[in-house]
Amino acid sequence: MVLFSTTRTEQREPLFQWVGPIAATRVVLMARKADNIVISSVDDISRYTVGAILDDIGEQLLKSAGVAESSIKIIPSADALAKMLGAGRIQLWAYEENVARWYIKQSKLDNTQFEVVHVLKESDLYYTLNNNIPAETVQRLQNGVDKILNDKAAYQKILDRYL
């Protein structure tokens, strides 16, 4: 029934039914601290090799910002991107910040050696559901999410466990 948590965009709006928001999110450009990368404008981004996943929000935001296609390296998995960033095979990684840090940790890399050098988008995450799910089911799920969000202690416990 629930596909996954997703950043809500105009482009994605008609593709799903939406439940949430469930959490705040930032899609960022991650870099190795040792590389001392400073991004002041979109033009700066095009000077680097930026890793992204095909059709992911990171790739979509890079393209809509006008980043040169030749600067974007499409890789099939976040796991591979974390390792490539750690090895210096890409200079920037366009991805959701918390998930990027999780993949960095899973790759046995030291998160303190990486930093956010640019925020591409700040928004909220939502659960996405197939458009064929009955409206009553979607509303029941929304009511459950609202109940958890209104219980600040329970919500914080969930965030602490998974982020």
**Side chain identity, residue 29:** L
Question: By mean pLDDT, which of 41-45, 69-73, 136-140 is the weakest?
Answer: 41-45
Peptide bond into 14 cis (omega under 30): no
DSSP 8-state code for residue 34? G
The pLDDT score that the predictor gives to residue 161 is 81
The pLDDT score that the predictor gives to residue 150 is 95
Q: What's the CATH number for 2-162?
A: 3.40.190.10
Mean pLDDT of 28-37: 98
Mean pLDDT of 122-131: 93
DSSP 8-state code for residue 136? H
Query: Assign residue 108 a region: left if phi > 0, alpha if psi is -120 to 50, beta otherwise?
Result: left
Q: Which residues contact 17 (CB under 8 A, 6 or more apart)?
A: 128, 129, 130, 131, 133, 138
pLDDT over 90 at 162, yes or no? no
The pLDDT score that the predictor gives to residue 1 is 63
Confidence of residue 2 (pLDDT cuts 50, 70, 90): low
- The closest alpha carbon to 33, from 111, 128, 104, belongs to 111
Residue the block writes with tokens 């050696």:
113
Average confidence score pLDDT of the chain: 94
Between CA 135 and CA 87 the distance in angstroms is 47
pLDDT over 80 at 85, yes or no? yes
Are the beta carbons of 127 and 20 closer than 8 angstroms? yes
Mean pLDDT of 58-74: 96
Percentage of the chain surpassing pLDDT 70?
Answer: 98
Q: How distant, in Å, are the alpha carbons of 85, 101, 141 from that of 47?
A: 16, 24, 44
Domain ranges of the chain: 2-162
The pLDDT score that the predictor gives to residue 103 is 97
